[in-house]
Amino acid sequence: MFVLSPSRSILFRPLPKPISHKPPKCSDSAPPFIKENCYHYPFDAANKLNRFGLKPSTRSHGPIQNPNIILDHQITNTSLKARAFAINNEAGTTPHCVVLDIEGTTTPISFVTDVLFPYARDNVRMHLNETYDTVDTKDDIELLRSQVEDDLKTGVVGAVPVPSDDAGKEEVIAALVANVEGMIKADRKITSLKQLQGHIWRTGFEKNEIKGVVYDDVPEALERWHASGVKVYIYSSGSRLAQRLIFGYTNYGDLRKYLCGFFDTRVGNKRETKSYVEIAESLGVDKPSDILFITDVVQEAVAAKAAGLEVIISVRPGNGPLPENHGYDTIKTFTEIPF
């Protein structure tokens, strides 16, 4: 048990067990199921509250529950930021995770709409021609065929039948290009399109024709969270390959060393609660509220909150307007997150 003075200095603490204090080692290719444990002394959260000068607000998210800390007064009615995600992590086995959206959260929406999408649209025909017989492209074509068949059945505007391979390479590619252009124009969040886009972008990044863009506050925040043992994941409608490319070839260098895993639409639609339930189960947290999800889309925030995650909405230049009285904490930069 720890005893703190009114100024939050430690008056008494037991001798710590011999544990590692190194931050979790995260690989840029690490799967979502990460086994390393984050270790935090239970008094860290209280010290963070004092260090950032945080005061209780009128919005109640419940008291900090940590039986290993005795304060000179009971902290209640604190906001999401003021709680600073104090971890009830007595045995050092409960992960403390941040899951980040990309567009409008770590990266300007304009980078996606004005750089990535046009690059994929302008290069889809050339990419398919040059890679037609590769394993990746054959898989892309089969996924697109299946998607187009569904689109034709449901009457999706702009869907064009894709002929069989017997029709010849040029006929197949022409149909695929027509469908892909329509999908990009409609900004469809479907796996078949995102997978193909990822393969096209890979060529662009590797040729230095594309450079990933992140906001200026993102690298410092990722480094800070990594150093303090907070595990950071990405959840985006873009493919996991595309996510790794964006963070691997940024204007600040390779940031993948700070990331522990990537989720895409294979885990589910970002506006569906079950997707966040799956993510929470994958990360192995004791409770979903051990995860902070940051997004710029209210519908995604609603879905994540319904799954039990903590949520902050990112308000960046160029993001869409938020509805009034949406009820979520907001930030303009990651520097506003007090941990």
Annotated binding site: 101, 103, 236-237, 270, 296
Q: Strand order of the sheet with strand 10-12? A: 10-12, 2-4, 69-70
Query: What's the distance, Cα to Cα, between the start and end of the chain in Å?
Result: 23
Please state the residue numbers annotated as binding site for substrate: 236-237, 270
Question: In residues, how long is the chain?
Answer: 339
Task: Give the H/E segment covering residue 3.
Answer: strand 2-4
Determine contact, residues 89/42, Cβ cutoff 8 Å.
yes
Strands 2-4 and 10-12: antiparallel
Please state the residue numbers annotated as binding site for Mg(2+): 101, 103, 296
Task: Give the H/E segment covering residue 313.
Answer: strand 310-314
Q: Please state the separation of Cα 79 from the chain's center in Å.
A: 22
- For the purposes of burial, counting CB atoms within 10 Å of the CB of 134, is it exposed (0-12), middle (13-18) or buried (19 or more)? exposed
| Other Cβ atoms within 10 Å of 157 Cβ, number | 7
User: Is the C-alpha dihedral spanning 52, 40, 33, 302 positive or negative?
Assistant: negative
The vertex-25 CA angle with 20 and 26, nearest 5°, equals 155
How much is the CA Rg of the chain, to the nearest whole Å? 23
Instruction: Reduce the DSSP state of residue 41 to 3 states and report it.
Output: coil
Task: Record the tokens describing residue 190, joined without a space.
Answer: 């479907």
Determine contact, residues 176/162, Cβ cutoff 8 Å.
yes
Helices 191-206 & 169-185 angle (0-180, nearest 10): 100
